[in-house]
Structure formats: structure tokens, C-alpha cells
Amino acid sequence: MSVRRAWTVRQGSGAVTWFEVRLAFADGARVEALAAVSEGGVCLEDVRGRPGLSLDDLAVLAEWLEEPLAEACVPPPAPGAPAARRARPQWPRGTEGRRLVAREYRAAQERGADPVLAVMRATGHGRRASLRLIGQARDEGFLAPRRARR
């Protein structure tokens, strides 16, 4: 099951948030739903199933979706509260942070993935800040020098 926030619309003093929900079963069946969550509760806006769903299946679907939607819902900020800037994963500073940057960098290289992009994803920083962290990890000896010195 996957639950992904699609969009949020302010409505008076509250908000309505829509979620895209996907369920996949071992036998190949799948269900996709669009659910609207507000202070009044949960409302299923659109449901598509392959194979089609019976009325009994639809009744059970609401039970399946209740807990994952509750986990995915984060109450909107209170009116007048400062809006949160972008959420960034907690990343340690100093030597420990540079050690973790080097670990992410090397792991991406071994997978054949872009190591700078891997560091960007792990730290939540943009390309420039991630390159600066990688450079600092090189300076501390956690990564090999970029070029061989002559």
C-alpha cells in the first residue's frame, strides 16, 4: 500500500487534503483511490479497481484505508502560526556528518548511481551545499582526493 499527499486546499479556517492511495495484492489485483481528508472525516472521491470491486469490497476498502490515511495526515498549521519552510532530514554536523556524506557517496558509486544526487537526497541540501559537504569530507580524508597531485 502506498499513500501520497496530492494537494491541500484551505477551506475557511480548516483545510481539505487529497491523497492518492494505491493497494496492490499478491494475486495481481489492485485498487487506486482518491481520498479527501478534512476535520469532518474521510471521503472517497474516486475508486478504481482491477478487477472491479463489489459493494462488499467497497465497505472493506474504507477499513483498509483508515489507518494508513490517519498516519499520512499531519494536521495543517494553526492560523497565525509560522508556516514551516521546507522539511529537511535531520543531518549531524561536523565530523560525523562528513563521515555520513562519505558513506552515502561511496554507496552510490558502488551502485552505479550519481553520488552527488545521493548526497543531495540524504541531506536534503541543494547541489552546491552537497558539493561543499563532499569537498569537506575529502579534506578530512573520508574520500579520496578528486585529482591525483603531481
Q: Cβ(130)–Cβ(121) under 8 Å?
A: no
| C-alpha to C-alpha distance for 99 and 102, rounded to whole angstroms | 5
What is the pTM (predicted TM-score) of this model?
0.43
Tell me what pLDDT residue 148 has. Answer: 63
Distances in Å between the Cα of 46 and the Cα atoms of 27, 57, 130 are 23, 14, 41
| C-alpha to C-alpha distance for 40 and 37, rounded to whole angstroms | 8
Tell me what pLDDT residue 74 has. Answer: 54
Task: Tally the residues of the chain.
Answer: 150
Q: Which tens digit of pLDDT belongs to each residue from 76-123?
A: 454 544 444 445 567 778 888 899 999 999 999 998 888 998 888 888
State the cell numbers at 104: 552515502
Tell me what pLDDT residue 19 has. Answer: 85
134 vs 123 pLDDT, higher one:
134
Q: Domain extents for the chain?
A: 2-72, 94-139
Q: How many C-beta atoms surround the C-beta of residue 13 within 10 A?
A: 9
Q: Which tens digit of pLDDT belongs to each residue from 45-86?
A: 888 888 887 777 777 776 777 666 766 665 545 454 444 444
Tell me what pLDDT residue 21 has. Answer: 85
| C-alpha to C-alpha distance for 105 and 123, rounded to whole angstroms | 11
State the cell numbers at 145: 582526493
